[in-house]
Every structure is written in structure tokens, then in C-alpha cells.
Amino acid sequence: MFLERFQHPAQVVATGFLVTILTGTLLLSLPVAQSEPGSASVVDALFTATSAVCVTGLVVVDTGTHWTMFGNLVILALVQVGGLGLMTLATLFAILLSRRVGLRARLAAQVETKTLRMTDVRRVVRRVVVFSLVSETVVAAVLTGRFLIGYGESPGRAAYLGGFHAVSAFNNAGFALWPDSLTRFAGDPWIILTVCTAVIVGGLGFPVVFELARDWRRPGGWSILTRVTVAATVVLLAGGTLVLSAAEWNNPGTLGALPESDRLPGGFMMAVMPRSGGLNAVDVAQMRTESWLVTDVLMFIGGGSAGTAGGIKVTTFGLLAFVLWAEMRGEAHVNVGHRRLPDGTQRQAIAIVLLGIAMVTAGTFTLLAMTSHTLDRILFEVVSAFGTVGLSTGITAELPSAGKLVLVVLMFVGRIGPLTFATALALRERTRRYELPVERPIVG
């Protein structure tokens, strides 16, 4: 009855995530969730719950030691709910319980899963859930086997470690059970490459993954979404690997501490994790300033639409590249392959980028005013929160409570999307019933 008061499905999505965050905060505030009851403030519990639901991975306390097994399972459940999407899960439950989905539920799931046709929602939700669970199971099996055989963990402990990090990696959540994330495994390709693969697959976006599985032999028939996502992902991963590897190759605090044979895989992981993965195999705090800047850009762009990654999305970035190319060539329309890009999609991409820049600027300014940390560290932290990445230069726990709440807002907005968030605030949509005269101002 409460959700029925909202008129736009985006409002349902935003409210659903908010309710889940508050529920997680309550559970993490319980004494049974904390190794030392009373050691976590309400703000810390709220921050952790938001970071989990928004699949970010920023932490103010050590995940592996501060929380009990119950607390870690709560975090894992929040990550799973946030990764699949609250409305996706709600629609699945409606299908299983009543075998029917109402119009409002379909619209809400359509917003969350970015489905292009409302009639596809039921089928897409089933495939999303099955694909997610199967992928997590495969990754968990590989990691469990490695922890069991390579590191001598007991079967129960190996399964726990494998399952936790499989869910965290596939959902691009960034949570790890070690205080140094995955830096202790920097030279282990079984763990590093498995985690990177899970992050990439989860961050591509479900529509793209399904289309690639169906039509991978016919790239000429791919949709604009798949073409742009795949092309932008390849370019960003390759470019990020080369630039970050070159910048950190001889840095003794990061790649320089690794054998030369492990440096390129380490650089690849440094390029993968800003997609929203958040796990790291090198000490981010020891990275050079120019590497932080490159990582800022990668984190702001993020991963694919309708996936578990955050940021403005590689699709948005790629579409704007085509818009720029068409404008430079003086073309009246923006074409991607043999298809024309609608004007509404172009405006949406521009709006998302501008809203993202506004949020990052406002967050950076606010934290600079609250703390004595330098601009490069604050900017890194803010972009990581907005992009729901989870990488940090190590200042998260040092922020005052008000600063942590700023990051909470950034993570929330970054998860549900700037445009969805703005739409959720609107009470109703307005359609102009007349056209005004055209006037072309001077631009530039």
C-alpha cells in the first residue's frame, strides 16, 4: 500500500533501495552482528549497509574482523539484493507466488533491468537471476578449490571464502575479508584472473551478455547497446592496462614490488577494478598521483548498463563519443553502424554525465570543507563512492560522521542512477502541448 502512493516506477526503485538500506542498518546494529557489541556506531552501520546494497565496497571498519559471521552474511545478502536489483527480486517473487505480474511491478522492473520492452520483463528477470546464480556458483567453485588446494584452508573455510568473494566480485561489490583486500594474492593468476573475469562479466550488463551468448557469431547484427558496450569496454580495459602499468611499473609501493612476470596481470587488474569491482591487488594509497587521475576517469565511466557496475556507464561514454564524432563531421544525425541514434537518447546521455559531474563536484567541495585531506585524495574517494567502486586511498575511516554521510548519499545516487534519482523526485511527468519558435544561440 505504501509503494502504491508513488506514481513513477523510478520512485519505487529509489524507495525500495532506501528501505533495504535501513533494514541492513538495523541488522548490522545488532550486537550479534559485531565482534565487539557496541563497537560500531549507527553511522558506521548505515555506511556499511549502504555500501553493500549499492555494491560499492567502501568500508569504515575491517569487514573480516569487525563483523561476526552473522554480520558478514548480512553484508553478503545486501550485496546480492543490490546486485540483482531490488525490483528484479520483487518481480521474481511475484512470478513464483502468483504467476502474474501487475503493470506497476513490470514498470518498476523495467526501470531496474533497463529492459526495452515491457513484455520482456518476466522472461528477462528469470534469465537474470539464473545467470547470476550460475555465474556466482562457478566462480565460487574455482575460488574454493584454489583456497582449499593452494592455501591449505579447511573445506568449510575455503567454501566460505570462495562464496563470499564470488558474490562480491560478480556483483562488483568490492568487499573482501582481508584488510588488504586481495593484495596478498597479487601473484596468483587463479584468483586474480577469476575475480577479474567475474567483475567484467557482471559489469557488462545482462542485455549485452544475453545478446553476445545468442549472436556472438554475427557482430554485424548486434544492437547499438552491445556494439557500444563491447567496443568501449575493450578500449578502456586495454588503454587502462597500458597506461596504469606504465605509470606504476617501477613504483616500489605497487607494481614495482612484484616480479616482472606479475606486473602486467597486476596492471590489468588495476584497469578492471575501476569498472566498479573495487577489489585491489596493489596498495591504492601508494599509487602515483597520475594513476589516481586515470583511475578517477575509469571509475566515473564505470561498466555496462543494466549490470552490476556503477558510474555513468560505458554505454553513455561511448554514445557521447559518437555524438562528438558526428558533430565534428557536421552530420545532422548520429549514426552507430547502420542505425540512427534517437535525439532523446542523446539528451539522456548528456543529462546523466552533467548530473554525475554535479554530484562529484558538490561532494568534493563538501568534503574539502570538512577535512584537511588533499584534493586528489578527496576526489578519488568521491568518484569511488559515486561510481560505486569501493577503491580508496585509505581516508574513508578517517572522515567525520558528516563526511561519511556525504559518501552515503553519493553511493545511493550512484547506484540507482543520477537520471533515475532525478526522475524519482518529480511528482509527475509534464508534457508540453505546444512548440515554441526556434532560435539558435551562439555556442562556444
pLDDT in tens, 55-70: 999 999 999 999 999 9
Give dist(CA 50, CA 409) in Å, integer.
9
Give, for 285, the enclosing helix (H) or strand (E).
Answer: none
Judge whether 48 and 61 are in contact, CB under 8 Å: yes
What pLDDT, on a 0 to 100 scale, did the predictor assign at position 77?
95
The number of beta carbons lying within 10 Å of the beta carbon of residue 199 is 29
pLDDT in tens, 108-158: 666 666 555 555 667 777 888 889 999 999 999 999 999 999 999 999 999
Judge whether 283 and 183 are in contact, CB under 8 Å: yes
Give, for 304, the enclosing helix (H) or strand (E).
Answer: none
What pLDDT, on a 0 to 100 scale, did the predictor assign at position 40?
74
CA dihedral 89, 90, 92, 97 (to 10 degrees): 140
Judge whether 249 and 263 are in contact, CB under 8 Å: yes
Give dist(CA 409, CA 413) in Å, integer.
6
Give dist(CA 241, CA 228) in Å, integer.
20
Beta bridge partners of 340: 335
What pLDDT, on a 0 to 100 scale, did the predictor assign at position 5?
52
Q: List the single range of 11-15, 84-88, 165-169, 196-200 with lowest mean pLDDT.
A: 84-88
Place of cell 558506521: 44
Judge whether 306 and 114 are in contact, CB under 8 Å: yes
**Mean pLDDT, residues 165-180:** 93
**Mean pLDDT, residues 381-410:** 94
Give dist(CA 385, CA 413) in Å, integer.
9
Burial of 99 (0-12, 13-18, 19+ CB in 10 A): exposed
What pLDDT, on a 0 to 100 scale, did the predictor assign at position 205?
82
The number of beta carbons lying within 10 Å of the beta carbon of residue 193 is 15
Give me the percent of the chain exceeding a pLDDT of 70: 86
pLDDT exceeds 90 at position 391 = yes
pLDDT in tens, 217-248: 888 888 888 898 999 999 999 999 999 999 99
Judge whether 147 and 194 are in contact, CB under 8 Å: no
DSSP-assigned letter for residue 162: H
Q: List the single range of 39-43, 262-266, 324-328 with lowest mean pLDDT.
A: 39-43
Give dist(CA 415, CA 424) in Å, integer.
13
Give, for 238, the enclosing helix (H) or strand (E).
Answer: helix 224-248
What pLDDT, on a 0 to 100 scale, did the predictor assign at position 427?
45
pLDDT exceeds 80 at position 88 = no
Torsions phi, psi of 395, nearest 5? -105, 0
Judge whether 63 and 173 are in contact, CB under 8 Å: no
Whether the pTM exceeds 0.85: the reply is: yes
Give dist(CA 118, CA 109) in Å, integer.
9
CA dihedral 78, 79, 80, 84 (to 10 degrees): 110
Closest by alpha carbon to 89, among 133, 27, 45, 25?
Answer: 133
Closest by alpha carbon to 111, among 98, 131, 125, 99?
Answer: 125
DSSP-assigned letter for residue 30: S
